[in-house]
Copies of this chain bind each other. A is one copy, B any other.
Amino acid sequence: MTRSKNKGVLMVVSGPAGVGKGTVCDAVALSCRDVFLSVSATSRKPREGEIEGVHYYFKTKEEFENMIKNKELIEYNRYVNGNYYGTPAAPIDQHLEKGESVILEIDVEGGKQIKKKRPDAVMVFVVPPSFMELERRLRGRATESEEDILARLERAKVEFELSAIYDYIVVNDTVENAAEKVKAIIAAEKCKTQRCIDEIRKNIQGGNL
């Protein structure tokens, strides 16, 4: 008798630049065998050391435009430089069907596109403990000009107000704390009645859980 399996959780993670959301997502995926990070498709050329299917799915412009036409992407965007970036649906659905969860790190605009196509997506917004701390982290990266840092800080304040459309807010005080919260959100979402009641109903009758 096969045990009925719940579908995994599709989680969107957004947050201002410099907040450390990538590190938090990596920590979650590393410590959970059944949580995976979504891999984007792009039409830009691979850089040294980038691996197909790990960093990106690399596509030609024509291939990418075909994916758009065939509705194979749950969101996409074309940058000023002409390169496409987007999220293919198929690899995500493969994980979800197996009961595995997928984390999709994306900006607020992309997050909105996804929520529209996948209303069951769980939306998480990562914030710094304070804007002062965010400024410290941005300066710590030492990759940007003063002007860029101030622009990012301004943008973070604007974006914070957009976080109201997200389901959850996680404060990234330490990576460990924030990762624990993200894991708790995935575990809790799997217990949501609308998500699990059909499967539980099957299992509870058959006694095959």
Known A180-B187, A187-B180, A204-B127; contact A193-B209, beta-carbon cutoff 8 A:
no
Interface residues of A in 94-153 (CB under 8 A from B): 124-125, 127-133
Q: How many copies does the complex hold?
A: 2
**Cβ A168 vs Cβ B191 within 8 A:** yes
**Cβ A129 vs Cβ B209 within 8 A:** yes
**Cβ B207 vs Cβ A131 within 8 A:** yes
Kindly specify which of A27-35, A58-66, A74-82, A159-167 makes contact with the partner chain: A159-167
Q: Is the interface of A mostly helix, strand, loop or mixed?
A: helix
Kindly specify which of A40-48, A49-57, A85-93, A169-177 makes contact with the partner chain: A169-177
Verify if A181 is at the interface (C-beta below 8 Å from B). yes
Beyond contacts A164-B197, A181-B191, A187-B188: 9 other A-B pairs, Cβ-Cβ < 8 A, are A128-B204, A130-B204, A130-B205, A130-B208, A163-B197, A171-B203, A181-B187, A184-B184, A185-B191
CB within 8 Å of B: which residues of A? 124-125, 127-133, 160, 163-164, 166-171, 173, 180-181, 183-185, 187-189, 191-193, 196-197, 200-201, 203-209
